[in-house]
Chains A and B, each alone.
Chain A
Amino acid sequence: MSPRKPIRFSRRQVMRSLLAATAFGAATKLSGCSPNTASSTEGGADGEAGAGAEGDVVVGFIYVGPKDDFGYNQAHAEGAAAMAQVPGIKIVEEASVPESSAVLETMRSMIEIDGATVLFPTSFGYFDPYMLELAAEFPEVQFFHAGGLYQDGVHPDNVGSYFGYIDEAQYVAGIVAAHASESGNLGFVAAKPIPQVLRNINSFTLGAKTINPEATTQVIFTGDWALPVKEAEATNSLADQGIDVVTCHVDSPKVVIETAEKRGIYSSGYHANQAPLAPEGYLTGAEWDWVSIYTFLGEQFVEGKTLMAGDIDHVFRGGLADNFCKLSPYGPAVSEAAQADAEAAREQFLAKELVIYDGELKDNQGNEILAAGDKYEQQNIALEKMDWLVEGVKGSVSG
């Protein structure tokens, strides 16, 4: 054979390349890379708008997914962009950081390379062990965690948690849903049976039961935060069961809301306003208001306030009254009676007079959770360890 043979592909080489390319395709697909991410440069450019001179407080934001996911991460990224507008604040951002040693390295790099003195690792799963590990190593850097379980005396002084009682908004949404539902059968597409999610399901159901004591909520757990196909299947299956209002707690409610609209049933949103996705059936929704919270915290940082000095609360919580969350504007299908009842409940929350978890309360297995006369105020840590579903919810915490 001549050593100078022309470039040629044998069948074996082509097969090998094709198989490998398939493998790589699977790899990128499964790594959670979404086509949306290509457009996230605009978000980054917004973030730069507030970047300024030396001496600015550098604040690092870390997201578990893309910044434009129509849900959880987008709500935080919009809040971060608002904080960047505060004079004296410079933000650095990193998206799609997995909850592995990668987030440790990201936080370290933000501290060591960018000089960040405040970090917002926004995903719930970053807290333990990653954030706690680094907080111990960098006692001069402040770590803020969305929804973390900061415990006085257990966790380092430079760790704080902030979170909204968005279940107040879900309670009001439950009132609206019970008014809209003819059958009294509500549906809830949920990701995982963790306390935050269970609390939303329970509050939504308790709100609905104030209007229709017979109302029930059928829950479907999809098993993960972003499973669009399963979310669509769950919504369809709820619609097939004769359920006429659905809401959800997944990272991006887009699929649930759109599917509900296609099936001609009502929907209630989560994280952000999804009204444009369902102009007819969208009732209302429980939205975060991170723009107001992050702007407030940014101002605190510029004034030199810190967790360590005790100027900022380690457990920074609030509900509708404190602008942590808000309700989407009511949709066209919401009756005046429904609006009146919802507004009445909202006013009570604004005045901090309404307690959602008020005895007597039983779980859906018949066990007593609260005796008559007992209450769980919003701040009660028992609510953050919730592992039960209230009477009226059809489903089980084991998924």
Chain B
Amino acid sequence: MTDSSVATAGGLKGFAWRRPLEAIFLPVAALVVALILFGGFCALAGANPFGVYGSIYQAAFGSWSAWQNTLIRAAPLMLTALCTALPARLGLVIIGNEGALVMGGLGAIALGLSIGSTLPPLVAQILMAIAGMVAGGLWIMLAGALRYYRGVNETISSLLLNYIAIALLNHLVEGPMRDASFVTKPSSAQLDPAIWLGTLPGTRIHFGLIYGIVICVLAYGLIQRTTFGFAARTTGGNIRAAKIAGLPVGKLTLAVCFLGGSAAGLAGMVEVAAVQKRINESLVSNYGYAGILVAFVARHNPLATVLVAVLLGGILASGGILQRSHNLPDATVLVFQGIVFLCVLYSDSLYGKLPWFQEKVVSD
């Protein structure tokens, strides 16, 4: 995580280009290795690997319609990934993305239903987004607070908070919030059509994609280009040094956790306002957990998150074609995800270990 800063230190001859190249080469190599391994898996399952690669490409990026499919799936992943990526810069492993998404959806729907059509659509949508972000943010901040003040492992607590959020959702839609006239499944009432989040003109992609990209860019700026981000990264690098330097570690922990959770909460708001239009258990459809994968593959870099989310969106979009055209089992797409994830994680341990990518250091 501190790779780029090392290379610029004094004593180097010329421009430091090998390290950035390494940061591009390793993930790409990991993907290639993953594709080869997955090809072997497909061959074992009786499908032609090259046919499978072709189908994945066609189904994910082969046409404008396929691109839209990919981007629709990628949109929520960009936001949920930040829930892991931002706290990771502080040295925390938060996996409460699914819970934060659910809480965000609940916050947004509660506000959206009480607004109805009394406010202009744009104002109503902004208020719903804020409600979703605050709800998701507070949820993850809870895990951060438990970590900082009570020493509770944030990975476990945030994982368990997922179950609580989902149980709360089920309780609300089957009890207090239930709309008895909607019989498909226990759900809340529907949002007023006036405040639904629409699609981008000429496409079927909802505005969540724009939210995702904007928030990722903002998060990148915050982490890489502000004193706040610097303080957070410093704390992540060495918490004791940060404390000695007088950084407010507690406040930073809470703030970064809040920001991460609010990104996932916004994903929940988008899902509710653009896709479901009401809230029910369909909100829990794995966006949060897939977001963890995106964050790790992107090495917790918010800009890389956008690219990785699009890549994973493409993999998910191609899942159907693997079943339909190649007779592969429905879990194949999960196998592919898993192989990609393991390869990228392994490649993570190779940074700085491949001789060719080391900058030539002038010895003293």
Contacts and interface: CB of A to CB of B under 8 A. Distances in A.
Contact of A37 (B285, B289, B296, B330): B330
Contacts of B175: 398-399
Interface of B: 45-46, 59, 65, 69, 72-73, 93, 95, 98, 155, 159, 170, 174-175, 180, 182-186, 271, 275-277, 280-282, 285-286, 289-290, 292-293, 296, 316-317, 320-321, 323-324, 327-331, 334, 337-338, 341-342, 345-346, 348-350, 353, 355, 358-359, 361
A112 interface: yes
Given A125-B184, A192-B174, 19 more contacts: A3-B355, A3-B359, A7-B350, A17-B346, A20-B296, A23-B292, A27-B289, A27-B290, A41-B328, A45-B327, A95-B323, A96-B331, A100-B276, A105-B72, A125-B185, A127-B184, A192-B185, A193-B174, A195-B183
Contacts, number: 163
A95 B353 contact: no
Closest 8 CB pairs of A and B: A27-B289, A95-B330, A3-B358, A37-B331, A100-B285, A96-B330, A98-B285, A44-B327
A194 B185 contact: yes
Nearest to A196: B183
Contacts of A33: 331, 334
Contacts of A101: 72-73, 275
Interface in A134-153: 148-149
24 contacts: A17-B345, A17-B346, A17-B348, A22-B155, A23-B292, A27-B286, A27-B290, A27-B293, A31-B286, A38-B331, A66-B330, A67-B330, A95-B323, A96-B331, A100-B275, A100-B276, A102-B73, A105-B73, A108-B65, A109-B320, A112-B65, A113-B321, A194-B183, A194-B186
A160 B128 CA distance: 35
A108 B275 contact: no
A28 B127 CA distance: 34
Interface residues of A, number: 69
Contacts of B45: 41
B358 A41 contact: no
A125 B282 contact: yes
A128 B182 contact: yes
B79 to A, nearest CB: 14
B289 A26 contact: yes
Given A96-B330, A193-B174, A223-B170, A26 B184 contact: no
Contacts of B281: 224
Nearest to A399: B174
Contact of B289 (A31, A44, A223): A31
A24 B341 contact: yes
A110 B290 CA distance: 24
Interface string A313-347: 00000000000000000000000000000000000
A110 B59 CA distance: 11
